[in-house]
Structure 1
Amino acid sequence: MNSRLLIALLALALAACSSLKPQPGPEKRYSATELLALRPGDFSWPAMSTAGERAQREAALADIRARIALPPGPERDAALPRLFDLVAQYNLEIDAARPLLLQALPTLAGRDADYQRALLTAARALYVADAEPALQPLLTQLTASKPFAIAAYTLKAANPGYAEFIRDLVPRQFPQWRDDPRLVALMDDVATVRLAQPPLADLFAAPLRPGYPVLYSLQRRGRADMGLVLVRGADGRFVRDAGGRLFAQPQLALSRSGLPGTITNGNTPQGVFTIVGAGTATNPNIGPTPYLHSKLPVEATPAEFEHGETPAAWSEAVYESFLPPSWRGFSDIKEAWLAGRAGRDELLVHGTTINPAYYAGTSYFPGTPQQGCMISNEDWDPATGRLLASRQLNLAQAYAAAGARADLAGYLVVVELAGQGPVTQAEARALVDAAAR
């Protein structure tokens, strides 16, 4: 069959699969009262039934194989970005797609920045070691800061010894690098000296702005392990259940690319976000469970960040005003500020309609990484696709109850903890206890 015709037929097959999920419509927004009244049984997602998920996966697999089978030329080149998106999401045909990526890498200097970004992101997500030989010579030819940074991070992931090479190259290739938030973050990542993290107790006790609830998302550096999310109420106390146990449930802040937070589709950046409400997404990988609408600095206006009128314009000093004094000189916690300046947006706190089985055997299983949001697991009925249990709904309702605000206004702090393995309940309790002293 002609490859062009095959791609067209597969597009029709994928369109047919769209009947497995509700069709996009006006987004539903929730008040606190509406959010608190919801129950898991209020939601269903047909694509999460066994039959629906299988049909979706089989269509994706056929699409992947059709793209791999295309002969060399412009049509295959154009098919590669979507190919590697599907390969990474479904963890399918990774070996079969590898040669196409390795053949394309040496040609990227002559491509536009968006195409470079897409394929370099695939190299970081899927083929770090294999891509290393092509990346060092390519790095010296990249003139746009975003693909340059992606290539540099991937090269360093392949061999940390490249940090010095990158550190020396950036000022020569980008003399104005201090004006580019992505390159500022990259240079901090390859710096010879890293500042010690200030006391976490200070960050946990910080008011941010008094009278607003705060989510604390505790993650490991590199994000390859499951984190935990806590809720601090508008009264400054962390939420506990009737038995006095701290509310602390798993949350993943890892993207499929594994890139840092200043890069499009990278991990959730560290730092302070504002929360401006809750809604139901139209993204089929998020599903119907209400998300909490978190916004980065710059993405949100200063007034949105303050939850009130303010004459201030965005500046680093305005961002620092949300941090306790001991944290204001610590560059890692300013990743959210840099990410906002770099144009990142729509990093939401949400559930998932991606099958965890795609990531079986990973260190973060049963997490389902996506494109930089903070994700809580959900359980769906395999027969009907109805929601059975949702950590996302639990989190959103704990936040709504603790905030006591109809508009659900509040804050989110993402911070990395030292150590390895999933963040534990014992670590969270120790941090909360230390902040209360």
Structure 2
Amino acid sequence: MKSLLFAALCCCCAVSSFAQFARESIHTDVVLYNKRQSFDKYLRDKTIRDAFASPLDSNTEDKYESACWAICQFMIRNDEVKQGFDKLFAAYPTLAYSTRRAFLEAVYTVYPDSYTTAVEQLLQKETIPKLFAMQALYLFRNDASMDKLIQLQTLLQQKFPRNDTLPLLQELKKYLTLHNTYAEQPTPPVGDLFAHQQVLGQKIIYSFQRWNRDYPGLAIVQYADGSFAKDSTGKLLVFQQLARAGSNLPYFITNGNTPQGIYSVQGTAIAHNNFIGPTPNLQMIMPCESTDSAYWHTPYDSTQTPLSNYLQLLPASWQQYQPLTEAFYAGKTGRSEIIAHGTTIDPAYFKGMPFYPLTPTLGCLCAKEIWNEFNGGFQESDQFSLVNTFIATPGDTGYLMVINIDNQQAPVTLADIRQFMK
């Protein structure tokens, strides 16, 4: 079972709010220098080192699981982690499902190419669809050849002959077959999305990302009247967001990267979560995550399927573009609680990564936040600015679209977005 410390990463107990927020009201002791130092010591010494130093048995397995969750979120890799992984590989058949899932996620996160032989051996014996998918994805990331693709597809069919009834395995098949192709193809015209907003008549946040989620994206806000949020000089307002999970797993795996597609913004909230922090967040749901009535801000045609209604939120030029259905199918696979929030996690854990100083999550959209380690206030918060910009006009609901614009190996820039507005 996850420790309470890391279970907090997965939940968001929130209180709704409908007015604009004051900067001076946002404060947290979690980011103070001494608190961060104390947390880091506990994380490394107790949660990971001491757990992996103990024998692995039924009395200590929950500590191993907690260590794996910590490794995923903070991307810790060292010899102690490797030694713990060796024990977990050896004991894999006897582990509880939750421990195996946390372990596979940790391996995928911090040692993406070190355990192909061991994972291949697990795959041959795996009987649980989600664990099979995680193992197959690990191997495919290291070898995307046609031979490997055929091997994985054949094994999937042999082990799960009724895979067409399992949404997760259907998404795995699509990912193995199409992901690398879509990553190199252009999107339909982004300008068509801006024009179609007037048909919907809703506020929309567009979060433009790269296919390689190591690189941060940018969000912009289009108001219900069709205008874009700008500053006092007329410059387009942009907000840095990271759509990368700590694990970097694909969109259809729990705790994977933020799925592309259309989210329904349900309002704003304050999270009681030490890792998300006190900055207001945007509460969102996917179409298959909740009831239809909760998701839709536009008329719902009950004579059509949910997917058909979802596609009507897009202009005709985008309705056949499969990547924008990721959020729809991610909800079917069981993903939930994907919101747009800030972060109090110390960015020092990720120094040297392309997304630094932003911090990865369990699959949410996470905006850039830099905190003052001596007074607990924020120095810079794109999350605060995004939320206040979104609610600067009446209403706190609408839609948010996550769109991978291309596969450049660089952060999304204002220049990238300006080309869509010509």
| TM-score, normalized by the shorter chain, greater than 0.5 | yes
2:294 paired residue number: 304
2:135 paired residue number: 151
The equivalent position to 2:400 in structure 1, one of 400, 404, 412, is 412
1:42 paired residue number: 25
> 1:329/1:102 Cα in 2 relative to 1: closer, same or farther (>3 Å)?
farther
Deviations 1:197-243 (A, max 9, x none): 32222233322862211011111113010111111111122222222
AA at the equivalent of 1:45: T
Q: CA offset at residue 114 of structure 1?
A: 2.6
- Tell me how far apart the structure 1 counterparts of residues 389 and 144 of structure 2 sit (CA, whole Å): 41
Unaligned runs of 5+ in 2: none
- Tell me how far apart the structure 1 counterparts of residues 169 and 421 of structure 2 sit (CA, whole Å): 34
Q: Do 1:220 and 1:423's aligned partners in 2 also have CA atoms closer than 8 Å?
A: yes
Deviations 1:44-70 (A, max 9, x none): 110101111111212222212210210
AA at the equivalent of 1:273: Y
What secondary structure, in the 3-state scheme, does the structure 2 residue paired with 1:299 have?
coil
What secondary structure, in the 3-state scheme, does the structure 2 residue paired with 1:385 have?
coil
What secondary structure, in the 3-state scheme, does the structure 1 residue paired with 2:288 have?
coil
1:343 paired residue number: 334
What secondary structure, in the 3-state scheme, does the structure 2 residue paired with 1:234 have?
coil
- Tell me how far apart the structure 1 counterparts of residues 420 and 252 of structure 2 sit (CA, whole Å): 27
AA at the equivalent of 2:193: L
Segments ≥4 residues shifted beyond 6 Å? none
Q: TM-score, normalised by structure 2?
A: 0.90
The equivalent position to 1:372 in structure 2, one of 363, 366, 389, is 363
Report the count of equivalent residues.
Answer: 408
2:213 paired residue number: 223
- Tell me how far apart the structure 1 counterparts of residues 127 and 12 of structure 2 sit (CA, whole Å): 40
> 1:25/1:270 Cα in 2 relative to 1: closer, same or farther (>3 Å)?
closer
1:73 paired residue number: 57
2:373 paired residue number: 382
- Tell me how far apart the structure 1 counterparts of residues 313 and 52 of structure 2 sit (CA, whole Å): 49
AA at the equivalent of 2:412: V
- Tell me how far apart the structure 2 counterparts of residues 269 and 71 of structure 1 sit (CA, whole Å): 38
1:176 paired residue number: 162
- Tell me how far apart the structure 2 counterparts of residues 113 and 386 of structure 1 sit (CA, whole Å): 40
AA at the equivalent of 2:227: R
- Pair 1:432 & 2:421 matched: yes
What secondary structure, in the 3-state scheme, does the structure 1 residue paired with 2:391 have?
helix
AA at the equivalent of 2:41: E
Alpha-carbon RMSD: 2.5
Quick check: 339-348 or 178-187, which moved more? 178-187
2:318 paired residue number: 327
- Tell me how far apart the structure 2 counterparts of residues 308 and 322 of structure 1 sit (CA, whole Å): 9
- Tell me how far apart the structure 1 counterparts of residues 12 and 104 of structure 2 sit (CA, whole Å): 34
AA at the equivalent of 2:310: Y
> 1:425/1:25 Cα in 2 relative to 1: closer, same or farther (>3 Å)?
closer
Quick check: 244-253 or 105-114, which moved more? 105-114
1:84 paired residue number: 68
What secondary structure, in the 3-state scheme, does the structure 1 residue paired with 2:59 have?
helix
Q: CA offset at residue 88 of structure 1?
A: 3.2
- Tell me how far apart the structure 2 counterparts of residues 227 and 119 of structure 1 sit (CA, whole Å): 29
> 1:88/1:115 Cα in 2 relative to 1: closer, same or farther (>3 Å)?
closer
- Pair 1:165 & 2:151 matched: yes
Deviations 1:7-40 (A, max 9, x none): xxxx99x89xx9xxxxx99732111xx2x2x222
> 1:25/1:65 Cα in 2 relative to 1: closer, same or farther (>3 Å)?
closer
- Tell me how far apart the structure 2 counterparts of residues 26 and 333 of structure 1 sit (CA, whole Å): 29
Q: Do 2:56 and 2:87's aligned partners in 1 also have CA atoms closer than 8 Å?
A: no
What secondary structure, in the 3-state scheme, does the structure 2 residue paired with 1:57 have?
helix
- Tell me how far apart the structure 1 counterparts of residues 177 and 32 of structure 2 sit (CA, whole Å): 48
The equivalent position to 1:190 in structure 2, one of 176, 180, 189, is 176
Q: Do 1:219 and 1:228's aligned partners in 2 also have CA atoms closer than 8 Å?
A: yes
> 1:209/1:121 Cα in 2 relative to 1: closer, same or farther (>3 Å)?
farther
> 1:28/1:357 Cα in 2 relative to 1: closer, same or farther (>3 Å)?
same
Deviations 1:105-138 (A, max 9, x none): 3543454433322111111111121221111222
Q: CA offset at residue 308 of structure 1?
A: 6.4
The equivalent position to 2:83 in structure 1, one of 99, 113, 117, is 99
> 1:26/1:156 Cα in 2 relative to 1: closer, same or farther (>3 Å)?
closer
Q: TM-score, normalised by structure 1?
A: 0.87
Q: Do 1:238 and 1:432's aligned partners in 2 also have CA atoms closer than 8 Å?
A: no
Unaligned runs of 5+ in 1: 1-10, 19-23
- Tell me how far apart the structure 1 counterparts of residues 166 and 335 of structure 2 sit (CA, whole Å): 14
Identity of aligned residues (%): 30
- Tell me how far apart the structure 2 counterparts of residues 72 and 29 of structure 1 sit (CA, whole Å): 43
> 1:122/1:217 Cα in 2 relative to 1: closer, same or farther (>3 Å)?
same
- Tell me how far apart the structure 1 counterparts of residues 211 and 12 of structure 2 sit (CA, whole Å): 38
1:55 paired residue number: 38
- Tell me how far apart the structure 1 counterparts of residues 223 and 90 of structure 2 sit (CA, whole Å): 52
